[in-house]
């Protein structure tokens, strides 16, 4: 029959092996190695001293210390586990947040950690396209590195302006970008005017040759969602609203006007006295059969001082 000493020796030996082996998994290597060492010494004391003498007492003390130390390591690992798991999710969420627009993720009804491939939704939004004019000439005047620094500075300022007006940049497109404003058209209009002020500030700092930025705005329904594959996920926006806003940015460039918007944008403003500009009349837009009524919005520092714009009524069908 197995004696108590044999049982204790086997238990302590097993504890020594378990503690040594589980250290990496528990992420408590030092504590578990200390427990393993104490259990191993206690096992040796029992083997050498049997059930009697000083070595048995030493084995008892070391065995109890080893068991307590290992139990404490397990407790700490269990207690810290949820915190580490939460921290991991938080890091992943922050990483996704740097690449997925907050505006779209919120509209999908998801947290960043829950975004899945193929998620999509349709909602009304105001789309803003901004583009640096004559960027080719800019790269001719500057080295590629200096041009990159200037454009990156412009993008950083633009992103802050867009966020401050409750929007988010959806795509960077070479020397321009697309931003989305889901709340109201005023957010996009205010951002467009603030962006022109930010460009003037950038030019005043003399980081490079002065730049001009054209902005086009349109509002309407958009379908947005996630695309890609398991290794790379991105968002995209598909709608005629997006295409029209992009074409208006081209009209801004062609006519040399800083900010242009469709009549639909100005018609949706709740307080028309806040904005103003010049009606440019119907403009041909590539991809659309009918001309689009376009308004030039004056890029002034205080939108409240812009004279109200009178949007032309739609032409009667004959």
Q: Tell me, what DSSP letter sits at residue 183?
A: S
Is the pLDDT reported for residue 128 higher than 90? Answer: yes
| Beta-bridge partner residues of 214 | 131
Neighbouring CB atoms inside 10 A of 92's CB total 12
Is the pLDDT reported for residue 217 higher than 90? Answer: yes
> How confident is the model at residue 272, as a pLDDT?
78
Burial 199-237 (b: 16+ CB within 10 A, else e): beebeeeeebeebebbbbbbbbebebbbeeeeeebebeb
pTM value is 0.61
Which of the four pLDDT bands, split at 50, 70 and 90, describes residue 265?
very high
Q: Which CATH number is 102-305's, of 1.20.120.420, 3.30.230.10, 3.30.70.120, 3.30.70.1230?
A: 3.30.70.1230
**d(Cα 124, Cα 191) in Å, to the nearest integer?**
18
Domain ranges for the chain, please list them.
4-99, 102-305
Are 129 and 216 within 8 A, CB to CB?
Answer: yes
Closest C-alpha among 224, 220, 219, 168 to residue 191 = 168
**d(Cα 244, Cα 221) in Å, to the nearest integer?**
12
Strands 168-173 and 213-229: unpaired
Q: What is the dihedral of CA 81, 85, 90, 91, to 10 degrees?
A: 100
Give Cα 72 to chain centroid, integer Å.
39
**d(Cα 54, Cα 38) in Å, to the nearest integer?**
16
pLDDT digits (tens, 9 = 90+) for 7-45: 666 666 666 666 666 766 666 667 777 767 766 766 766
pLDDT digits (tens, 9 = 90+) for 54-94: 566 556 656 666 667 767 666 666 655 444 433 433 444 44
pLDDT digits (tens, 9 = 90+) for 245-256: 999 999 998 889
Which of the four pLDDT bands, split at 50, 70 and 90, describes residue 233?
low
69: its two tokens: 């130390």
- Count, residues in the chain: 318
């Amino acid at each position: 029959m197995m004696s108590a000493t044999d049982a204790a020796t086997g238990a302590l030996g097993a504890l020594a092996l378990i503690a040594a082996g589980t250290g990496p998994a528990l992420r408590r290597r030092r504590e578990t190695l200390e427990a393993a060492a104490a259990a191993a010494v206690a096992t040796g004391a029992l083997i050498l001293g049997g059930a009697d003498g000083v070595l048995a007492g030493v084995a008892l003390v070391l065995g109890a210390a080893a068991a307590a130390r290992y139990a404490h390591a397990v407790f700490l690992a269990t207690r810290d586990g949820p915190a580490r798991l939460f921290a991991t999710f938080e890091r992943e969420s922050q990483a996704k947040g740097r690449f997925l627009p907050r505006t779209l993720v919120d509209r999908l009804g998801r947290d960043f950690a829950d975004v899945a491939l193929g998620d999509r939704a349709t909602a009304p939004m105001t789309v803003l396209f901004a583009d640096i004019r004559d960027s080719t000439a800019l790269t001719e005047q500057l080295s590629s590195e200096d041009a990159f620094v200037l454009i990156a500075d412009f993008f950083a300022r633009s992103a802050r302006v867009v966020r401050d007006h409750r929007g988010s940049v959806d795509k960077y497109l070479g020397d321009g970008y697309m931003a989305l404003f889901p709340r109201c058209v005023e957010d996009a209009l205010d951002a467009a005017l603030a962006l022109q002020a930010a460009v003037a500030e950038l030019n005043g700092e003399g980081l490079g040759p002065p730049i001009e930025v054209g902005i086009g705005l349109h509002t309407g329904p958009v379908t947005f969602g996630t695309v890609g594959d398991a290794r790379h996920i991105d968002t995209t926006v598909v709608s005629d609203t997006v295409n029209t806003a992009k074409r208006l940015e081209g009209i801004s460039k062609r006519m040399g006007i800083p900010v242009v918007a469709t009549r639909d944008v100005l018609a949706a403003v709740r307080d028309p006295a806040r904005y103003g500009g010049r009606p440019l009349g119907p403009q041909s837009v590539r991809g659309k059969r009918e001309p689009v009524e376009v308004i030039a919005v004056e890029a002034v520092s205080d939108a409240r001082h812009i004279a109200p714009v009178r949007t032309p009524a739609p032409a009667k069908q004959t």
